[in-house]
Structure 1
Amino acid sequence: MSTLTKQDTFSSLFTAAPKNFESVRKLAEESFLAQDIPAPKAEEYKFTNIGKKLEQSIVNYSAALPIEVTIDQVKSALFEGFEGNVLVFSNGKFLPELSSSIESVEISLISAKPELALGTIAKPGKDAFTALNQATFEDGIFISVPKKTQIEKPILLLSFNQANQGQVIQPRVWIEAGDFSEVTFLDQSISLGESSYFLNKVVEVKGGINTQIRYYRLQNEGKNVIEVSNFETDIQQDARFTSVNISLSGDLVRNNLTLNLLGSNSEGNMYGIYLLNGKTHVDNHTNVDHTIPHAESNELYKGILADQSRGVFNGKIFVRQDAQKTNAFQQNNNILLSEEAIVNTKPQLEIWADDVKCSHGCTVGQLDEEALFYLQARGIDKVQAKGLLLYAFAGEVLEKIEEESFHNYCVSLIQERLGSKF
């Protein structure tokens, strides 16, 4: 098999790229060509050989065209008890005719915002796939919450994806929340079909002073989907940002999540659960950058891995020299249910300030046999007891989801997977 090259594989995407944001696209293309598809020796992709996976699955990429989505499909996709706003997408394209009109919130296509500072939060120079998205994405969605506005109902970003093997879907999302605003986003993608396509998503979030932003994401793509997600957030003074990322399915999934704390008394919370079976490979790379004194970050990721699945966690916390009085905490815990399951975990701290409270740690182990025996001794069969223990392990992350209907939906999915439902 010939070696994968960036020019050959993605040439059709560059050729067909829209002309809007031409200078921004050109810089991103140059950045992508300079970085190349990450090689096995690339430190940031050390345990995730995405170049090999792309080469095995796909020879030449072309952009996936939108598919028809009906109102009945949208309704059937909504989880029980959901009462909120819905923004619908087809292969990354925003469908306003099937979407809610949200009072006080500005929603438009990115192409209608030529002044938008694309790539100033999720910078193309940081990751090759961010650069690829910026250079070649068709269009995206711009969401702006005005100052002093509280959006009481959650906003669901509901994506329907269906593509042929060798096609790429590139969603692009820009979210900004004005000072003293509050908003909750739910993010769910639904795969229609079982083909192997490449989903390359970029989300940029800009939070103002004293904003409250919550972003909950469920990754449950088809088992043959290759996905890279670059999600980056800037928050300012007195702001609070919370993300929960739940990964359940896919062939290879790489999540790059970066949080930049740019103001004093800001708080960032990043939580995740990856529940893997088969040969699913999920790699979570997180970065928290403390740049200003008196800020706090909390990070907890948990993994449950069965069969021949593989999980990767690489979390970095940066505390800059001026960021005194920083509190930063990071933990990654994993349970392996099979001798063939593998996890690679690497929590990291880089501290240049001296008046801080920071900690990090990781654990990799198996199910507690004593606890399992205890439950069985009280009349619970082994499968049910095992499921209950695993759900208790995952529950610490799930309880961070404050939106009730989405929380209940995710709980139901995980309980069903673990066999912990009564």
Structure 2
Amino acid sequence: MTTTTNNNILDSILSQVPSGSSFSDLRESSSNFLEKKGLPAIKEEEYKFTSITKKLENSISDFSFAKKSDLNSETVESHVFDAFEGDLLVFNNGSFEKDLSKISNHGYTLSLISDAKPELLGKIAKTEKDPFVALNNIAFEDGVYLKVPKNQKVEKPILLLFLNQSNEGQVIHSRILIEVEDNAAVTFLEDSVSLDDKTYFSNMVTEIKVGQNSQVHYNRLQNESKNTITVNNTETDIHRDAVFTSVLVSLSGDMVRNNLSLNLLDSGCEGNMYGLYLLNGKTHVDNHTNVDHTKPHAQSNELYKGVLADSSRGVFNGKIFVRQDAQKTNAFQQNNNILLSEDAIVNTKPQLEIWADDVKCSHGCTTGQLDEEALFYLRARGLGKEQARGMLLYAFTGEVMDHISDEAFQNHIVNIVQNRLGSNF
């Protein structure tokens, strides 16, 4: 049975969905699910370290959907990182802004989900996987459907720029659906920006299908205001001989929950997940990952690293499932953390569930402080304390940033990280 808080939030969301709107079947099934399941309670295992529902109750006073902000091309350009070359898709409080975007359509097609109505919607990110997927199913107004046809290589990256702001409401629901057909390749960059410091709740769902022998790189930067509450659900279906690589860098926010799932559906496919969380203040970031090996001769690689200062908190929960038919699986998972303050906390839980008997799988985690001997070595050679510390921390974080596939985006993130490390957070 749902709590009073759950009911208040859900009633407010449901009251804003117009009757007879698009995606009625998906909305109805999701409504039924949430009426029984509700939003995550404190005692729920998957959310026991991240009380999103309580945070929403305490921080959001208006659960109305945020209206579009007054944007112009100058505002958009000011939030595009330097040296970017590629197509730009602009989202204004979750709504696609075609007139402010720059779209070449070289190698792909783009439409609103309501216009294309692909059957994939809600089939990759299933309602029962997470209550916030169901909430997005009910509440999102529309979304973008991006398709890369067979044998196409999109030469330049596609930047998804989300400009968010509390505006006559504090709730934003974004929806992205990506279909990459066989023998294709594409790189996505995602950047979420807060236009001011006002509190809002962003609930986003991204569904990605990676066709046979295709390659998809998805690079994401989270650097919103200190008052942002965010839930991201990204779900991928990866087919035979395909490669999907995710790089996620989380730098700011109030409470952030990232759910990333890779479904390895055939032989020869590969899933890579790299994450960095560099936290200070009271920022709370929770990364929940899931890799499902269902067929033989597939591999996955996962490396998440965290640096936590002040009273920040990090959570890592990584699950790898190896099904009985998934012989010859090769799976690696590692989570490493450095705590720079006695008040910083990290909860880490790498997990393996293996039903096959001919596999190579490993997982592990470490949590500690900076190496005092290495720090002494650098200081003995003329470096100041902060410079030496920054150098060691950058060496620790660089292993993740090296996997960012676009050079300009990588340089942008590296500059932000270096400035943070050099300024003692």
Tell me the TM-score normalised to structure 1 length.
0.97
Aligned residues of 2:67 and 2:168 also touching (Cα < 8 A): no
Aligned residues of 2:213 and 2:240 also touching (Cα < 8 A): yes
Q: Which residue of 2 aligns with 1:378?
A: 381
Q: Aligned runs of 1:108-147 on 2, under 5 Å? A: 108-147=111-150
**Aligned-partner SS, 1:237:** coil
CA distance, structure 2, for counterparts of residue 4 and residue 58 of structure 1: 15
CA distance, structure 2, for counterparts of residue 79 and residue 305 of structure 1: 25
**Aligned-partner SS, 2:394:** helix
The one-letter code matched in structure 2 to 1:8 is N
CA distance, structure 2, for counterparts of residue 164 and residue 50 of structure 1: 21
Residues 178-198 of structure 1: per-residue CA shift (max 9 Å, x gap): 100000000001101111111
Q: Which residue of 2 aligns with 1:54?
A: 56
CA distance, structure 1, for counterparts of residue 368 and residue 169 of structure 2: 38
Aligned residues of 1:4 and 1:55 also touching (Cα < 8 A): no
The alpha carbon displacement at 1:4 in A equals: 4.7
Aligned residues of 1:391 and 1:420 also touching (Cα < 8 A): no
Is 1:79 matched up with 2:81?
A: yes
The one-letter code matched in structure 2 to 1:13 is I
Aligned residues of 1:9 and 1:59 also touching (Cα < 8 A): no
Q: Which residue of 1 aligns with 2:183?
A: 180
Q: Which residue of 2 aligns with 1:320?
A: 323
Once structures 1 and 2 are overlaid, which stretch shifts more, 73-82 or 268-277? 73-82
Aligned residues of 1:9 and 1:60 also touching (Cα < 8 A): no
Aligned residues of 1:184 and 1:215 also touching (Cα < 8 A): yes
Q: Which residue of 2 aligns with 1:157?
A: 160
The alpha carbon displacement at 1:39 in A equals: 1.0
The one-letter code matched in structure 2 to 1:150 is K
CA distance, structure 1, for counterparts of residue 77 and residue 199 of structure 2: 26
**Aligned-partner SS, 2:398:** helix
CA distance, structure 2, for counterparts of residue 46 and residue 323 of structure 1: 31
Q: Which residue of 2 aligns with 1:245?
A: 248
Q: Which residue of 2 aligns with 1:305?
A: 308
Is 1:17 matched up with 2:17?
A: yes
The one-letter code matched in structure 2 to 1:33 is E
The one-letter code matched in structure 1 to 2:201 is F
**Aligned-partner SS, 2:129:** coil
**Aligned-partner SS, 2:128:** coil
The one-letter code matched in structure 1 to 2:300 is S
CA distance, structure 2, for counterparts of residue 33 and residue 304 of structure 1: 38
The alpha carbon displacement at 1:45 in A equals: 0.5
Tell me the TM-score normalised to structure 2 length.
0.96
The one-letter code matched in structure 2 to 1:260 is N
Q: Which residue of 1 aligns with 2:354?
A: 351
Once structures 1 and 2 are overlaid, which stretch shifts more, 337-346 or 14-23? 14-23
Residues 133-169 of structure 1: per-residue CA shift (max 9 Å, x gap): 0011111110001100000100000111011586210
**Aligned-partner SS, 2:74:** helix
Residue number among 63, 67, 70 corresponding to 1:65 in the alignment = 67
CA distance, structure 2, for counterparts of residue 325 and residue 52 of structure 1: 43
The alpha carbon displacement at 1:5 in A equals: 2.5
Q: Which residue of 2 aligns with 1:90?
A: 92
CA distance, structure 1, for counterparts of residue 233 and residue 306 of structure 2: 20
Aligned residues of 1:336 and 1:366 also touching (Cα < 8 A): yes
Aligned residues of 1:165 and 1:196 also touching (Cα < 8 A): no
The alpha carbon displacement at 1:51 in A equals: 1.7
Q: Which residue of 2 aligns with 1:283?
A: 286
Residues 77-109 of structure 1: per-residue CA shift (max 9 Å, x gap): 221221111001100000111112222311111
Residue number among 276, 281, 285 corresponding to 1:273 in the alignment = 276
Aligned residues of 1:69 and 1:160 also touching (Cα < 8 A): no
The one-letter code matched in structure 2 to 1:378 is R
The alpha carbon displacement at 1:390 in A equals: 0.3
Q: Which residue of 1 aligns with 2:37?
A: 35
Residue number among 84, 103, 106 corresponding to 1:103 in the alignment = 106
The one-letter code matched in structure 2 to 1:62 is S
CA distance, structure 2, for counterparts of residue 309 and residue 389 of structure 1: 20
Once structures 1 and 2 are overlaid, which stretch shifts more, 136-145 or 165-174? 165-174
Aligned residues of 2:69 and 2:167 also touching (Cα < 8 A): no
Once structures 1 and 2 are overlaid, which stretch shifts more, 255-264 or 163-172? 163-172
CA distance, structure 1, for counterparts of residue 93 and residue 53 of structure 2: 23
Residues 252-293 of structure 1: per-residue CA shift (max 9 Å, x gap): 000000000011110000000000000000000000000000
Aligned residues of 2:149 and 2:181 also touching (Cα < 8 A): yes
The alpha carbon displacement at 1:116 in A equals: 3.0
CA distance, structure 1, for counterparts of residue 339 and residue 12 of structure 2: 41
The alpha carbon displacement at 1:40 in A equals: 1.1
CA distance, structure 1, for counterparts of residue 328 and residue 372 of structure 2: 42
Q: Which residue of 2 aligns with 1:255?
A: 258
Aligned-residue sequence identity (percent) comes to 61
The one-letter code matched in structure 1 to 2:406 is E
- RMSD over aligned Cα, in angstroms? 1.3
Q: Which residue of 2 aligns with 1:7?
A: 7
CA distance, structure 2, for counterparts of residue 414 and residue 335 of structure 1: 15
